[in-house]
Amino acid sequence: MILKLLQEHLQTIRIHAESTYPEECCGIILGKEANSGKTVVEIMPTENAWHTQAAEFSEDDISYNERGRYAIAPQVMLQAQKEARDRQLIIIGIYHSHPDNPAIPSEFDRLYAWPEYSYIIVSVQNGKAGDLNCWCLDDNHQFQEEAIDTGK
């Protein structure tokens, strides 16, 4: 599958990631899905609610602070779903940053990922957004890199 988006969408993600450094940022990706791939219509930056949502995860996960974890509050996801539906869109993915780490999924990312979503990860090194990659889960719940098409 290919994720189609504009440079302005990538810029929104990068700016959000830099603004929350050294903590992880996160957000929702709205768009449309077709046989040819997923098309991004809007990037919705959200608050990293890890500190308020951590009780839903295991003790091993909680021991890691919000610098290396993210969560989107359930009520924010629900509101995004409603807004998307009203606009004939769907949630097609989630994005988040990896402060001072590569733009590859962690084991935590894999364990809590949903199969139908695309996951954009942006590496932020010393406060500056760098590599950005997209991932999706395969049938074995393992991440595979997903192509990004910016129309260039």
The domains located in the chain, with CATH, are: 2-149 (3.40.140.10)
pTM (2 d.p.):
0.90
- Dist. CA 122–CA 17, nearest whole Å: 7
Q: For residue 90, which amino acid is it?
A: I
Confidence band, pLDDT 50/70/90 cuts, at residue 145: very high
Spatial CA neighbour of 31 closest among 91, 95, 72: 91
What confidence tens digit (pLDDT) does each residue in 53-104 have? 554 554 454 444 445 789 999 999 999 999 999 999 999 999 999 999 999 9
Residue 52 near residue 73 (C-beta atoms within 8 A): yes
pLDDT at 50: 85
Residue 67, helix vs strand vs coil = coil
- Lowest-pLDDT choice from 45-59, 95-109, 133-147: 45-59
Residue 84, helix vs strand vs coil = helix
pLDDT at 95: 98
Residue 110 near residue 141 (C-beta atoms within 8 A): yes
pLDDT at 151: 85
Whether the per-residue pLDDT at 152 is higher than 80: the answer is no
What confidence tens digit (pLDDT) does each residue in 19-38 have? 999 999 999 999 999 998 99
pLDDT at 61: 46
pLDDT at 67: 53
Greater pLDDT, 105 or 1? 105
Which residues does 144 contact at the CB level (< 8 Å), separation at least 6? 135, 136, 137, 138
